[in-house]
């Protein structure tokens, strides 16, 4: 790049600043080339850096400078916004002055958003990976529950039926036995005894039912509920 090209590009990049400022800056850099001497053009261009960098610094200076934005380091003025490996503002963009701060913020929040998107993706992948584990687990838990429920239902139906049968049988046998005792004492007492046994069995079954339904089942349900709660909670953490 020759001096003329360099200055032309700089003028182009500075077209959005006030005319007076542009002329001032351009004449300063023309002077600078003059002072350096004719043979030094390439060296001056190398030391100044790209026209885009020079223009960005001039515009930043016009904006009153931003002490926090950049620092003068050993390798020159360092400002992430003006780093040459970063995107340099396009020549026809809006004035840099107005956009500078918001651009910077957008950049930061954009990076943040990207990271959380990555997290969502990770969670999704974890869910997909966990499906082969969670599905059979949930299935077996559901199966065990259904089994327990079935057995419980069967018992709940069978036991009262037995109780009713035993009690009715007992009452009938005792009633018939009392009558039979006077007709044929041996047979009568046998029936009385059988009736008493059936009544006792019915009463014992009722007591057993009270024990099972009143104490064991609530305990069982509590345990099952607790186990399920833990399982689902753990599943939730895993995913």
Binding stretches for another protein (CB under 8 A)? 24-25, 27-29, 31-32, 34-36, 44, 47-49, 53-54, 57-58, 60-62, 64-65, 67, 71-78
Shortest gap between Cβ of 90 and another protein (angstroms)?
A: 19
Give the Cα separation of 178 and 173 in Å (integer). Answer: 8
Minimum separation from the CB atom of position 96 to another protein (A) = 13
Q: How far is the CB of 138 from another protein (least distance, A)?
A: 59
Q: Rounded to the nearest whole angstrom, what is the least distance from the CB of residue 20 to another protein in the complex?
A: 11
Nearer to another protein, 24 or 238 (CB): 24
Nearer to another protein, 82 or 180 (CB): 82
Q: Which residues, 6 or more positions from 1, have their beta carbon under 8 angstroms from its beta carbon?
A: 9, 45
**57 versus 166: smaller Cβ distance to another protein:** 57
Q: Which is nearer to another protein, 1 or 128 (CB)?
A: 1
Cα distances (Å, whole numbers) of residue 30 to 35, 76, 228: 9, 21, 81
Number of DSSP helices (H) and strands (E) in the chain, helices first: 7, 2
Query: CA torsion 81→86→89→95, rounded to 10°?
Result: -10
Whichever of 79 and 180 has its CB closer to another protein, that residue is: 79
CB of 73 to another protein, least distance (A): 5
Q: What is the dihedral of CA 219, 225, 228, 232, to 10 degrees?
A: -150
Task: Characterize 181-192 residue by residue with b for buried, 16 or more Cβ atoms within 10 angstroms of its Cβ, and e for exposed.
Answer: beeeeeebeebb
């Amino acid at each position: 790049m020759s001096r003329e090209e360099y200055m032309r590009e700089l003028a182009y990049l500075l077209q959005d600043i006030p005319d007076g400022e542009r002329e001032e800056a351009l004449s300063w850099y023309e002077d600078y080339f003059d002072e350096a001497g004719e043979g030094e053009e390439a060296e001056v261009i190398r030391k100044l850096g790209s026209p885009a960098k020079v223009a960005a610094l001039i515009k930043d200076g016009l904006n009153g400078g931003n002490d926090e934005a950049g620092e003068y380091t050993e390798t020159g003025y360092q400002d992430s916004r003006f780093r040459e490996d970063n995107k340099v503002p396009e020549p026809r963009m809006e004035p840099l002055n107005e956009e500078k701060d918001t651009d910077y913020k957008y950049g930061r929040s954009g990076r943040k958003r990207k990271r959380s998107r990555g997290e969502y993706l990770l969670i999704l992948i974890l869910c997909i990976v966990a499906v082969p584990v969670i599905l059979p687990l949930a299935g077996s838990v559901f199966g065990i529950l259904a089994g327990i429920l079935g057995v419980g239902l069967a018992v709940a139906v069978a036991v009262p039926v037995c109780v009713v049968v035993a009690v009715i049988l007992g009452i009938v046998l005792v009633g018939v036995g009392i009558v039979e005792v006077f007709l044929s004492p041996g047979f009568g007492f046998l029936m009385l005894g059988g009736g008493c046994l059936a009544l006792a069995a019915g009463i014992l079954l009722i007591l057993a039912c009270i024990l099972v339904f009143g104490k064991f089942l609530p305990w069982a349900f509590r345990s099952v509920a607790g186990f399920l709660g833990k399982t689902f909670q753990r599943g939730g953490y895993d995913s």
